[in-house]
Amino acid sequence: MQLKQLEIFVQVARLHSFSRAAEALYLTQPTVSAHMNALEEELGTRLVVRSTKELRLTPPGQVLERYAAEILGLCQLAEQEVRTAAGAIAGTLSIAASTVPAQYLLPQALPALRQRYPQVFFQVRQGDSSQVIQWMTENGAELGIVGAPAQRPGLLCVPFLTERLVIAAPNTPPYQHLEGNLTPQLLRTLPFLVREPGSGTRKQADQFLRSLGLEPQALNLAAQLESTESILQGVKYGLGVSIVSQYAAREEAAAGRILLFHWDSPLLERQFYLLYRRSAALSPAAAMLLQELPSFYQNQG
């Protein structure tokens, strides 16, 4: 078995798709298929079963996924420790980030860091907060960024940025006439958009709503969407209102496409956290990001 075959197999297993794995690895789909066929031929067994609806692992495939993820994680740790010994701020820095950091915070900061450290390749993997924590514990990334504190043995969780959540609404006459004022009674009746249960934003929004005497499940729920961008698009086109990151919403609000309602509650203030493993030596690139990312946002004001 070759490392490239294992890398391709793990991506196929995680993404449940040959085409998405090819896209993630910057390969063609025939190349991915050829590597998978060669791996199955070498092992003498089927690893995946494909149908028109889904791709799933066979029992032997499930066994190989566990070992392949561990092997690739050890290779990544070996590379990190070698670069640490050499002291070079270079190579691939793998970052697992929840939706808001991946879509809004990192794209703002990485251009400046890339200019200062041109030999670093930033590899960002996006998921909700619970997925990020899982990837960190499985050595799927060297650093993690989430919007909720991580309680997991072996992980260090360091706050680096404070923001507020806001209520986003369509920029239409019914909401314009509210003149920035919302009440709990009105929130109970408005169509509401929510993130998936593993989202840090969803957890904090639920806490805030309960502080107002509103049970989240009893709201007039219109849709559950799995990214902040999808939520903002739904708000913009009138699907409903939602509690979202101010960082994520400010561009749409500045363009007049949505309205923002601010609520004076400490439950709408949250931290973003940097995660790294307690027992692993940080690569120079990871140590750089831990130092530079908080400084970047402090300088942004």
The number of angstroms, rounded, from the C-alpha of 65 to the middle of its chain's C-alpha atoms is 22
Q: Are 65 and 5 in contact (CB under 8 A)?
A: no
Q: Which of 107, 115, 111 is closest to 145 using CA atoms?
A: 107
Cα(44)–Cα(30) distance, rounded to whole angstroms? 20
Q: What pLDDT score was predicted for residue 255?
A: 95
Tokens of residue 39, six digits:
């791996």
Q: What pLDDT score was predicted for residue 80?
A: 66
Cα(238)–Cα(223) distance, rounded to whole angstroms? 12
Task: Scan for tokens 């995946």, then name that residue.
Answer: 48
Question: Residue 157 forms beta bridges with which residues?
Answer: 275
Q: Are 12 and 21 in contact (CB under 8 A)?
A: yes
Q: Which of 237, 239, 200, 236 is closest to 221 using CA atoms?
A: 239
Cα(257)–Cα(172) distance, rounded to whole angstroms? 9
Identity at 117, one-letter amino acid code: Y
Q: What pLDDT score was predicted for residue 265?
A: 92
Q: List, for the chain, all residue ranges whose pLDDT scores fall below the cut of 70.
A: 52, 80, 83-88, 300-301
Q: In three state form, how does the secondary structure of 211-250 look?
A: HCCCCHHHCEEEEECCCHHHHHHHHHCCCCEEEEEHHHHH
Instruction: Name all domains of the chain by residue range, CATH numbers in brackets.
Output: 1-82 (1.10.10.10), 163-270 (3.40.190.10)
pLDDT single digits (tens) 228-283: 899 999 999 999 999 999 989 999 999 999 999 999 899 999 899 999 988 778 88
DSSP assignment letter at 105: I
pLDDT single digits (tens) 243-257: 999 989 999 999 999
Burial group, residue 243, by CB count within 10 angstroms (0-12, 13-18, 19+): buried
Does pTM surpass 0.85? no
Q: What CA dihedral angle connects 105, 107, 108 and 110, to 10 degrees?
A: 110
Cα(174)–Cα(256) distance, rounded to whole angstroms? 15
| Alpha helices, H only, 26-137 | 29-43, 59-86, 99-100, 106-116, 129-137
Q: What pLDDT score was predicted for residue 234?
A: 97
The helix/strand/coil state of 26 is coil
Q: What pLDDT score was predicted for residue 99?
A: 86
